[in-house]
Structure 1
Amino acid sequence: MQRIFKIFPALILCLAVAACDSKPSNFYVLSAPGITSGETAQTTRRRGLSIGVGPVTLPEYLDRPEIVIRENATALDVASLNRWGGSLTENFQNVLGEVLSERLNTDRILLHPWSVSGNVTYQVLVQVNTFEAQPDNQVLLDARWTVVSGTTQDVIRMGRTVLREPISGAESGTGGADYAQITAAMSRSVARLGQEIAAKGIR
């Protein structure tokens, strides 16, 4: 019993030190550049095209709470303290929908899986191959996309978009980069993808 009493204070001390050394996690989300959540909702574009966005699929190594950056061709760095504020797949799909809404001048955007009855005019499917910060201080987004008819499911257009977006403020590799700047560059990449799909895939 005496030995237990000697160990107990030491255990409390170890737990206290561990608590002091632990650091809080940082959380980030993608956002559509130029579109803020505080803006008043507009309902003046209800007569536009009806666009179904999704499904969007990401590689399994990216579809996780932690932000992943690439160290080299075969190595990844999983940032345990820098995390997504929700599902990256859903966040990506939502931002893509906002960009398509803006570029196609319509508020009739449905995100997969949609439950609203009735057919969409077009459905946009996206398969993301690569979407992470690279050692050269750029975000690489490599995605294949398909636009199909909402009524017949016939393929209307297919394309592959490969984008490199500089990480603002990065100086000496992503190992010391600001994750706010990394996620901002990722947001711009998704916006550029949406712009390209709107311009080349839906006319």
Structure 2
Amino acid sequence: MINGHRLTRAVIFLAVAIGLAGCASSPSARFYTLTPLSAQQAKQASPQAKPVSISIAPVELPDYLERPQIVTRDGQNEIDLAEYDRWAGSLSDNISAVLAENLVQLLNSDRVYVYPRLRTEKADYLVSMRILRLDCMPGNQVLLKAQWSVAAGADGKDVATRISTVSERLTDKGYPTMVAAVGRTLEQVSREIAREIPARQQ
């Protein structure tokens, strides 16, 4: 009986040791977020212009992008999910927040809000965006295709509706390089949107 207990303890110890060894050898996940424009990069609008207020609608993403893993494209129709490289949170929320921060810098206005709004007054403009494609091709390029619109907040009149297609070349296959390139494509689209938002008169 004693030998049986010793054997049982030895088997359990061995199983735990193997399990711990497996855990120790597994790589840990890496998490990424997009980075907005800095004030120096934005080349802000004239400080004499009266700041506009803007409401950012939730950014829409294709279903295949609504997941924590970073999605890359391999060929025309095949996609891959990164096992250990992931978005730190909702990609849709991250894009909305970065778009808002970019417009803050580009339009020299601190009255840019992401839905749900922190303020209740009617915004001068409503910005909506739907991501049609976000193709991340390691070692090749990032391609962003986005449909967006700007509407006047008071009456909902359409100011501009566009489809923007922008790309960034990748110098290596690393995920940090890829995520930075996604941020730069969003920067280009943010600049296009900012150009369609007229400054308010004093």
Tell me which residue corresponds to 2:65: 62
1:181 aligns with 2:177: yes
**Distance (whole Å) between structure 1 residues aligned to residue 113 and residue 12 of structure 2:** 57
Paired residue type of 2:177:
Q
Paired residue type of 1:162:
T
CA deviation after TM superposition for structure 1 residue 185, in Å: 0.3
Tell me which residue corresponds to 2:35: 31
**Distance (whole Å) between structure 2 residues aligned to residue 161 and residue 5 of structure 1:** 65
Q: 1:100-119 maps to which residues of 2 (within 5 A)?
A: 100-119=103-122
1:139 aligns with 2:168: no
**Distance (whole Å) between structure 1 residues aligned to residue 152 and residue 102 of structure 2:** 20
Name the larger-Rg structure: 2
CA deviation after TM superposition for structure 1 residue 104, in Å: 1.6
Given the two structures, how large is their TM-score scaled by the length of structure 1?
0.84
Gaps of 5+ in 2: 41-46
Superposed CA offset, 1:130-183 (max 9, x none): 11312561101000001112122232211000011112x32xxxxxx1111100
Length, aligned pairs only: 188
The CA RMSD measured in Å over matched residues stands at 2.1
Contact 1:122–1:148 (CA under 8 A) maintained in structure 2: yes
CA deviation after TM superposition for structure 1 residue 113, in Å: 1.6
Given the two structures, how large is their TM-score scaled by the length of structure 2?
0.85
Match of 1:153 among 138, 153, 156: 156
**Distance (whole Å) between structure 1 residues aligned to residue 149 and residue 106 of structure 2:** 17
CA deviation after TM superposition for structure 1 residue 46, in Å: 9.8
**Distance (whole Å) between structure 1 residues aligned to residue 108 and residue 53 of structure 2:** 11
CA deviation after TM superposition for structure 1 residue 5, in Å: 3.7
CA deviation after TM superposition for structure 1 residue 75, in Å: 1.0
**Distance (whole Å) between structure 1 residues aligned to residue 111 and residue 127 of structure 2:** 13
Tell me which residue corresponds to 2:132: 129
**Distance (whole Å) between structure 2 residues aligned to residue 150 and residue 67 of structure 1:** 35
CA deviation after TM superposition for structure 1 residue 184, in Å: 0.4
Q: 1:78-97 maps to which residues of 2 (within 5 A)?
A: 78-97=81-100
Look up the SS of the partner of 2:72 in the other structure. strand
